[in-house]
Amino acid sequence: MPVPVPRQRDTSATESGQAVLQTAAPAVAATGVAQATPQTTTPHTTPLTLLVIEDDPAGGLTVPEILDADGHRIRLRTARNLTEAERLLTPDVHCILLDLSLPDASARTPGATANGSVNGAAGTINGTGAGTATAVDQLLALRQVLRIAPRHAVLVLTGEDDVERAAEAVRVGAQDFLFRDELDGRLLSRAIRYAVERKRADIAQYKLAESKLRAQENARLERGLLPTPLLEGSDLRFAARYRPGRSRALLGGDFYDTVRTPDGTVHAMIGDVCGHGPDEAALGVELRIAWRALTLAGLCGDDLLATLQEVLEVERPCEEIFATLCTVDIAPDGRRAGLCLAGHPAPLISRPGRRARLLPYENSGPALGLLPRARWPRRQVELGGTWSLMLYTDGLIEGHIGEGKERLGQDGMVDMINRHLDRGLSGEGLLEASVTEARRLNGGELTDDVAVVLLSRAEG
């Protein structure tokens, strides 16, 4: 849209925004305005621009010379009403000086009706005459300025006998108020600089508060998406650790869940969607919820994974996205389990008096989303009477060891777990120590999402 050419007055400052004010008397005169003279600004310096909104039939408001902090004259634009002010309100305007005595604000305000009614944030005037206007009604012009210029600093100009309305203007949203009879160049210059900086601080504070509220809302949402294990009636103990690789996120592409079905079988799973962004995190949540619903509906093993692959193919943002998955269904007596692997690392089992080791992982199926009509064989494994079963994602084993290229890997993880078991760690303490050591060996935060689930049973 073309930039409007500002109105010119016979005795006013040049309205183009490139001219500045000449020195004038320190007081406000009844007639005439300050004369403008051209000025060449220092390169790379952007002078402040002031938009004055006033309507003086005698010729306008005399504004004294005003200088910014660098000694440059502040550029001036003038508007007779709010409609003209809105046209002159270009991005290079830093501050607005509004005369609170601007007459008939309702008639010049966008949205005013023929009878003088104005609806919206400004309030309502019934148009029954000036004598019926309230103090709040007299701030209509200011309210409209704040509406059309929410990111600009605003100063109001009034008489000394109108202190209450000036104070109300500040409460409504103006940065400060000035009295006409006390106006001089030094005071106005300082007020403009203060108003601009205060407005910047207010905007920064608002953005910070908005960011904190958004972060809190996202945190509540993400916490709500993390699973609550359904193990009522089971003698198994459950522990989990979850650490997303995405900066300042609570949820990543890794997902896990544990439920007990009415027949007493405990079903556990852990999975990993490739990638680290919010889309992958959302897809992980969808797969977890789908797994829980299908498991409670009675699906298990190959049938369950085949259905989850269909869900993945429908919900993934692109065909390159896939997910690995490990499912375990533990018999009601707790001594046996069925294991299905879809491109996922095998769980680790530990028993009293034995070294921890990986469960068999031969004949595992492909990751979900890679091959159409794939199959995932279910393998029966013996657990014994007392045991701990750890399910994990590859974020735990893909961290580096020191500054070299060597990674922790599954063998390194097994050795690490055995060291912690030898120290007598179990449950939450075992998981916390394992994740902490993996980070230490990596020399800092692990870049991939990490999820670890531990199911334990002690035979009585």
What confidence score (pLDDT) does residue 56 get?
65
Nearest to 401 by CA among 440, 447, 452: 440
DSSP helix/strand/coil, 341:
strand
Residue type (1 letter), 127: G
Residues 6+ apart with CB under 8 A from 460: none
State how far the alpha carbon of 72 is from the alpha carbons of 189, 196, 352, in Å: 11, 16, 82
Residues 6+ apart with CB under 8 A from 404: none
What confidence score (pLDDT) does residue 69 get?
60
What confidence score (pLDDT) does residue 308 get?
97
What confidence score (pLDDT) does residue 47 get?
75
What confidence score (pLDDT) does residue 76 get?
84
- The answer to whether 13 touches 78, Cβ cutoff 8 Å, is yes
Nearest to 295 by CA among 324, 246, 342, 258: 258
Structure tokens at 149: 């210029």
Within 13 Å, how many C-alpha atoms sit on residue 157's CB side? 23
What is the helix, strand, coil percentage profile of the chain, to 5?
Answer: 30, 20, 45
Question: Would you write out the chain's pLDDT as a tens digit for each of its 460 residues?
Answer: 333 333 333 333 333 333 333 333 333 333 333 333 333 333 335 678 889 988 764 544 555 556 666 666 778 888 888 888 888 988 889 899 998 877 654 444 444 433 333 333 333 333 333 333 344 457 888 998 999 889 899 999 888 788 888 889 999 899 989 888 777 777 888 888 888 888 888 888 888 888 887 777 666 666 667 788 999 999 999 999 998 876 656 678 899 999 999 999 999 999 999 987 888 888 999 999 999 999 999 999 999 999 999 999 999 999 999 999 999 999 999 999 999 999 999 999 999 999 999 998 887 899 999 999 899 999 999 999 999 999 999 999 999 997 778 999 999 999 999 999 999 999 999 999 999 999 999 988 888 899 999 999 998 7
Structure tokens at 394: 């590859």
Find how far residue 289's CA is from the centre of its chain.
25
Structure tokens at 142: 């200011």
pTM: 0.58
- The answer to whether 258 touches 268, Cβ cutoff 8 Å, is yes
Structure tokens at 99: 């005369």
DSSP helix/strand/coil, 427:
helix
DSSP helix/strand/coil, 136:
coil
Find how far residue 137's CA is from the centre of its chain.
37
DSSP helix/strand/coil, 318:
coil
- The answer to whether 337 touches 328, Cβ cutoff 8 Å, is yes
Structure tokens at 80: 């007779």
Nearest to 412 by CA among 387, 428, 433, 434: 434
- Which H or E run includes 438? helix 427-442
- The answer to whether 376 touches 340, Cβ cutoff 8 Å, is yes
CA distance 33 to 12: 5
Strand order in the sheet with 36-37: 36-37, 20-21, 75-79, 49-53, 95-99, 153-158, 176-179
Residue 233 region by backbone torsions, left for phi larger than 0, else alpha for psi between -120 and 50, else beta: left
